[in-house]
Amino acid sequence: MLARALRLSLLLEIALYLALARFAFDASPATAALAAVAGVLCLRAALLTLIYAYAWAYHSPASRLSPRQALVMVAGEYGALLFAFVLIFPFERWWMGEDRLQPAAADGADPAGRRPPVLLVHGYGCSRAAWWWLRRRLVAAGWTVATINLEPIYTGIDDFVDPLARRVDAVLAETGAARVILVGHSMGGLVARAYLQRHGESRVAGLVTLGTPHQGSRLAHIGYGENARQMRPGAPWLQTLASPAPVVDTVVIYSSHDNFVMPQSQLQLPGVPNQAIDGIGHLAMLFSPRVAQALLAALERLGARPLAAGSA
């Protein structure tokens, strides 16, 4: 389980910093504690610096940010990295709770007269806790929202398809809806597309992807696991996924300054609406009011479209 692994690794990291400060530098307990906090912060700052350097080396043409805009973007991504991997992911149960899957309010084109429920699919190396902030915004806007944990986290993407299919079935059974809208962040968008390729569109009203490497990312070359290898540009798995084209209404939302998917043009999916949002990092998309606004607008469009004849 990712949360347990992150708690253990964080505990060991802090213990190492404390031991170095106490025994190598003879620091007081208070100074050692401050050194441990600084170590946690500095290690992640260094990691983010390396990721941004890699992203810059392979960046696609994009609108130029002012120094202030660039600083705000990097600070936001750093905050998202800390918040997600130090506070939220290791303590998922404290933050998330169970999904509340009551039937949605009347509106839209569901056969029972309701909006379709939304099923959020997280990305590589993450958990359902990635959706803590966005789930709250969607629920506040009147959507019924479900999440899923994709485990084990470093297996092949195809191995996530059947668990997603079971979660789709469970959400529909509990809400009484006929179809869901899938929303995937990063690798989660690829999992959703793989689900559609294997199981078809009969149970899905639409797909929205956020920062998904539809055509791969060079950063995947240094990733771990089969799923990372499958996300390398030109990987056979991605080529297989590309044919046939998406079978449901799809909206792609991405950042033209993404720091995890590079070149950033790889975020686009030909043949569907692609909406770029400037000046935001890959993880920060999960905590961005601009992304939330774009996502809600996409959900309203997808949730209001009538069913095609015979597709129910």
- Output the tens digit of pLDDT for each of the chain's 312 residues: 799 999 999 999 999 999 999 998 889 999 999 999 999 999 999 999 999 999 999 999 999 999 999 999 999 999 999 999 999 999 999 999 999 997 645 444 444 457 899 999 999 999 999 999 999 999 999 999 999 999 999 999 999 999 999 999 999 999 999 999 999 999 999 999 999 999 999 999 999 999 999 999 999 999 999 999 999 999 999 999 998 766 799 999 999 999 999 999 999 999 899 999 999 999 999 999 999 999 999 999 998 754 443 343
Q: Which two tokens stand for residue 193?
A: 């597309």
Classify each residue of 4-13 as buried b or exposed e, where b means 16 or more C-beta atoms within 10 Å of its C-beta.
eebeeebeee
pLDDT of residue 292: 98
At which residue do the structure tokens 């912060």 appear? 41
Please, are residues 103 and 144 in contact by the beta-carbon 8 Å criterion?
yes
Residue 207: its H or E element: strand 204-210
Q: Which of 87, 86, 89 is nearest to 2 (CA)?
A: 89
Q: What is the DSSP string of 66-106?
A: PHHHHHHHHHHHHHHHHIIIIIIGGGHHHHH-----PPPPB
pLDDT of residue 244: 75
Q: Which two tokens stand for residue 184?
A: 């995937």
CA angle 192, 193, 198 (to 5 degrees): 100
Hey, how many other C-beta atoms are within 10 angstroms of the C-beta on 147?
22
Hey, how many other C-beta atoms are within 10 angstroms of the C-beta on 170?
15
Q: Which of 276, 302, 244 is nearest to 119 (CA)?
A: 302
Please, are residues 258 and 55 in contact by the beta-carbon 8 Å criterion?
yes
Please, are residues 226 and 155 in contact by the beta-carbon 8 Å criterion?
yes
What contacts 191, CB < 8 A, 6 or more positions away? 121, 150, 157, 160, 161, 164, 184
Residue 32: its H or E element: helix 29-57
Note if the bond before 244 is cis, omega within 30 degrees: yes
pLDDT of residue 112: 44
Domains of the chain plus CATH, in order, are 96-303 (3.40.50.1820)
pLDDT of residue 41: 97
Q: Which two tokens stand for residue 1?
A: 């389980």
CA angle 87, 157, 179 (to 5 degrees): 85
Q: Could you tell me the CA-to-CA distances from 122 to 8, 147, 148, 166 in Å, in that order?
A: 22, 8, 8, 16
Q: Could you tell me the CA-to-CA distances from 35 to 30, 81, 82, 84 in Å, in that order?
A: 9, 20, 17, 21
Please, are residues 119 and 148 in contact by the beta-carbon 8 Å criterion?
yes
pLDDT of residue 206: 96
pLDDT of residue 243: 82
pLDDT of residue 240: 95
3-state secondary structure at position 258:
coil
pLDDT of residue 16: 96
Q: Which two tokens stand for residue 41?
A: 């912060």
